[in-house]
Chain A
Amino acid sequence: MSDKSMHIHVHHVTRVEGHGNIDVVVDNDVIKKIEWQVPEAPRFFEAMVVGRDYMDLAPITSRICGICSIGHTFASLKATEAAMGITLSEQDTRLREILLHGETLQSHVLHAGYLAVPDYFRVNSVVPLVGTHKEAVLLIIKLHRLANELCDIIGGRTTHPIRTTVGGWTMLPTEKELVTLKKRYEEAVEDLKAVAGVVLSVAGKIPNFTRETEYISLTSPSEYAFYDGMIKSSDVKAPIPVSNYRTVVNEYVNPQSTAKWTKFNRESYAASALARYNNNYAQLSPLSKTVASMFGLGAAACHNPYMNTVAQVVESVYAVERTIANIDWILDKGLKYVKPDIKVKAGKGASAVEVPRGILFHEYEYDKNGKCLMANCVIPTNQNHGNIQKDFEKLVPEFKHVGKEELQFMLEMLVRAYDPCISCSTH
């Protein structure tokens, strides 16, 4: 092949969750093919749960994703609660938010520290960094451990939580456990600043690539939305009720992917930490805004998809601060256990939760005995596949002059920047 011809074929991109391929063919400087392919084996969750009891839905759909099992659990519980008109106390909702942010921190640290950052040091994994950047790696492990321990204490287990149930909790942490967690979270703020410093030291390697994109996330008047809110598109002024989510996602089947793709006002949109950042920047905490500014990010929307990793670092700071505030609120009121009060009835309900990779929707319909009649789950990464494809289509012509090896590296790094959860997206 001449310099102007190349074939990039990456079979199963590494350091991402699930199976994705990159296929690019350039023939004598003419682009013949650019494809982001998803060959992941479908598991058919929406068919699996039909006929199951309402209490089984969260434990089963939690298994859609090993990394965001807590987010799936809450999306599932909220959809069931919406269908049956079940409400939670403010304390129990705040405890859910604490657990959700345990996952935000765990997942963001895992992605930024273990999966994405090795690219910036040009190594194959985090393992070589143990030798060259031991202190930074130990800090990353420490933060990851802390987030996981929070999930153990609040949820009963780090992955696939146990204490979470329809209408509330099977069991609560003790006040003493919350006090200890709060103290450790306060100490973690300095560790996070140090990790942000490490990411900043290699931020010069983030490719200078932008593509004007539609960003979709939750939004809420009261806070930087994660657990609850309405749907916000950067292309539309008024927020959209979650019950109308199907008018936003418009799922369709693409022959190059077993995961469905989505589109709203353009050919594709992005759901991600960067989408949340762009849509809800004003509600971030002062410290998270300071960390954002270290990377040159401010109130103006950022259209560089590689910056999603930086948005995750910013959100990690927010997650820690928000958790401390939630623990304070609960301790101030005094912890009380109230057994969930459930009256099973027929109904249909949809929910949305922001999980590490973006907005997640679950929707169920139940009969009068609480048997599931219909389920639909729309996963952040299945909303991002089309956007990855569109990014590829702009990136390849712009950067094909850099040569095959470098272009392949940029494409893989772009996929990783989305932190895709591919098996979750196909489910």
Chain B
Amino acid sequence: MKPQVAFFDFACCEGCQLQIANLEEDIVGLVNVVDVVEFREVLTGTAEKYDVSFIEGSITRPEDEERLKDIRKRSKLLVAYGSCATSGGVNKLKNLNPSLENVRLTVYGKDWNMPHLRTAATKAVDEVVKVDAYIPGCPVNRKEVVEVVKSLVLGHVPALPEYPVCVECKFRENVCLFQKGQVCLGLVTRAGCNAICPSNNSPCEGCRGVMPNPNKNAMHEVLKENNLTVKQIFDMFTMFSADPEVKG
């Protein structure tokens, strides 16, 4: 029997789910190896148990924590899918605000205290339940998604690259953005995106999170040459992972 796969979304833009539709003709290949039994954005239907659950989005309310725990109980494997799920993504910017009341007041004005507008500090999926595999990225890289699905179908835990975006950027023979006077997070960000942002002449924003064991000496050198501190570069990481730590 083909593995039963499901997709679930929490607080996010659902752009990572869209990358499944963006596989175009490859979707036909995907549904040959897995049975998609629940995927609210594209099909009507539900199931009781799942072999693999893909969780998109971050967790921002107590009721969403309960829903996630219930999905975990019914799933053999659970994948944190996309930056909102792996690190909290941009949604964690909210946590930098001194108070959640202030956050609600800024958006909803005089109605901020209505009960249905309650919110809690944003959490990544693994702050609520056990995660078996991670697919980082904002949005996820479609090729990496296909590789992860292949690994899971074969019974392996997928391995993420353990080197920085810089390596991929060098392979693509890009001129270093530091040399163009820009500040780029590719030095310390986990690779796997094929350096897509620097290759489009735009700095890496660190959406895939910090890589394991970054080469601190080399990093210090580049930062020193550009009059930057380690703290400054980690502060830049706040866009996608307000609380930077290595995932996966």
Binding site for B on A (CB under 8 A): 12, 14-19, 39, 41-50, 52, 56, 59-60, 63-67, 69, 110, 114-115, 124-127, 130, 138, 141, 144-145, 148, 156-160, 162-163, 165, 170-171, 253, 255, 257-258, 260, 423-424
Contact A255 B114, beta carbon cutoff 8 Å: yes
- Chain B contributes a number of interface residues (CB within 8 A of A) equal to 55
Contact partner, A15, options B24, B27, B42, Cβ 8 Å: B42
Residue on A nearest B28 in the bound complex, by CB: A130
**Residue in A48, A148, A423 whose CB lies within 8 Å of B93:** A48
Residues of B within 8 A of A (CB): 9-19, 21-22, 24-25, 27-28, 31, 36, 40-45, 60-61, 64, 89-91, 93-94, 97, 102-104, 106-108, 111, 114, 116-117, 119, 138-139, 196-197, 199-202, 205, 239
User: Which listed residue (A15, A65, A157) contacts B41, Cβ 8 A?
Assistant: A15
The answer to whether B13 touches A44 (Cβ under 8 A) is no
- Smallest CB separation, A281 vs chain B (Å): 30
Q: A14-B43, A163-B200 are in contact. Are A43 and B91 (CB under 8 A)?
A: yes
- A258 near B117 with CB under 8 A, answer yes
A66-B17, A114-B42, A159-B19 in contact; A258/B200 too (CB < 8 A)?
A: no
Min distance, Cβ A35 to any Cβ of chain B, angstroms: 13
Closest to A157 in B: B196
Kindly list chain A residues whose C-beta atoms are within 8 Å of the C-beta of B103: 44, 47
A12-B93 Cα distance, complex, nearest whole Å = 27
The contact of A148 among B24, B36, B90, B117, by CB within 8 Å, is B24
Which are the 3 A-B pairs with shortest beta-carbon distances?
Answer: A66-B15, A125-B43, A156-B200
Residues from chain A with a CB closer than 8 A to the CB of B27 are 141
| Alpha-carbon gap, A45 to B13, bound state (A) | 12
A423–B116 CA distance with the chains assembled, in angstroms: 15
Q: How far does the alpha carbon of A64 sit from the alpha carbon of B107 in the complex, in Å?
A: 14
Contact between chains at B24 and A47 (CB < 8 Å): no
Report yes or no: B10 in contact with A170, Cβ–Cβ below 8 A: no
Distance to closest chain B CB from A261 (angstroms) = 12
| Residue pair A66, B239 in contact (C-beta under 8 Å) | no
Report the Cα distance A66→B19, complex, angstroms: 9
Q: Which residues of A contact B114 (CB under 8 A)?
A: 253, 255
Query: What is the predominant secondary structure among interface residues of chain A facing chain B?
Result: loop
Known A157-B196, A170-B201; contact A124-B94, beta-carbon cutoff 8 A: no
- Please determine whether B15 and A69 come into contact, CB atoms closer than 8 angstroms: yes
Tell whether, in the assembled complex, residue B138 and residue A44 are in contact, meaning their CB atoms are under 8 Å apart: no
* Residues of chain B with a CB closer than 8 A to A160's CB: 15, 138-139
* Contact of A18 with B200 in the complex, beta carbons under 8 Å: no
In the complex, 19 of the A-B residue pairs with CB atoms within 8 angstroms, ordered by the A residue number, are A15-B40, A15-B42, A15-B43, A41-B11, A42-B60, A42-B119, A44-B103, A44-B104, A44-B119, A47-B106, A47-B107, A48-B93, A56-B239, A124-B45, A157-B139, A159-B18, A260-B108, A423-B9, A423-B14
Given A12-B40, A67-B14, list of 18 further CB < 8 A pairs?
A14-B40, A15-B44, A43-B11, A44-B94, A44-B106, A47-B102, A47-B103, A56-B239, A59-B205, A63-B15, A65-B13, A66-B15, A69-B13, A127-B31, A127-B36, A144-B24, A160-B15, A423-B12
When distances are taken between beta carbons in the complex, the residues of chain B under 8 Å from A16 are 41
Contact between B107 and A170, CB atoms less than 8 A apart: no
Q: How many angstroms between the C-alpha atoms of A192 and B102 in the bound complex?
A: 49
B139 to A66, Cβ gap below 8 A?
A: yes
Chain A residues lying within 8 Å of B197, measured Cβ to Cβ, are 156, 162
- List of B residues within 8 angstroms of A46 by Cβ: 106-107
Q: How far is it, in angstroms, between the C-alpha of A326 and the C-alpha of B238 when the chains are bound? A: 38
Beta-carbon contact of B15 and A67 below 8 Å? yes
- Give A127 to B36 CA distance when docked, in angstroms: 10
Query: Contacts A47-B94, A157-B196, A163-B200: A148 and B17 contacting too (C-beta < 8 A)?
Result: no
Q: A41-B10, A47-B97 are in contact. Are A144 and B21 (CB under 8 A)?
A: yes
Q: Is the CB of B106 within 8 A of A50?
A: yes
Given A15-B44, A42-B107, A43-B91, also A162-B200 (CB < 8 A)? yes
CB contacts (< 8 Å) of A260 on chain B: these are 108
The distance from the CB of B61 to the nearest CB of chain A, in whole angstroms, is 6
- Please report the C-alpha to C-alpha distance between residue A125 and residue B41 in the assembled complex, in whole angstroms: 10
Q: Is the CB of B196 within 8 A of A162?
A: yes
B13 close to A64 (CB less than 8 A): yes
B101 to chain A, nearest CB (A): 11
Query: In the bound complex, how far is the Cα of B27 from the Cα of A127, in angstroms?
Result: 10
A253 and B10 alpha carbons, distance in the complex (Å): 22
A112 → B minimal CB distance (Å): 13
A159 contact set on B, CB distance < 8 A? 15, 18-19, 22, 139
On chain B, the residues within 8 Å of A15 by CB distance are 40-44
Query: B117, B119, B138, B202 — which one has the most chain A CB atoms within 10 A of its CB?
Result: B202
User: Which chain B residue lies CB-closest to A376?
Assistant: B107
Contact between A162 and B239 (Cβ–Cβ < 8 Å)?
no
C-alpha spacing A25/B97, complex, angstroms: 42
User: Which residues of chain B come closer than 8 Å to A67, judged between CB atoms?
Assistant: 14-15, 18
Known: A44-B94, A48-B94, A423-B12. Contact between A141 and B24, CB under 8 A? yes
Name the A residues within 8 Å of B89 (CB-CB).
63
With A and B bound together, what is the CA distance between A110 and B27 in angstroms?
Answer: 14
Bound CA–CA A160/B7 (angstroms): 21
Decide yes or no: A124 and B22 within 8 Å by CB, A59-B205, A423-B12 being known contacts: no
CB within 8 Å for A156 and B91 given contacts A41-B60, A47-B107, A145-B24: no
Closest B residue by C-beta to A141: B24
* B22 in contact with A158 (CB, 8 Å): yes
Residues of A within 8 A of B104 (CB): 44
Shortest Cβ gap from A64 to chain B (Å): 6
Q: For B19, list chain A residues within 8 Å (CB).
A: 159
B41 adjacent to A17 (CB under 8 Å) = yes
Chain B positions within 8 Å of A144 at CB level: 21-22, 24
Residues of B within 8 A of A171 (CB): 200-202
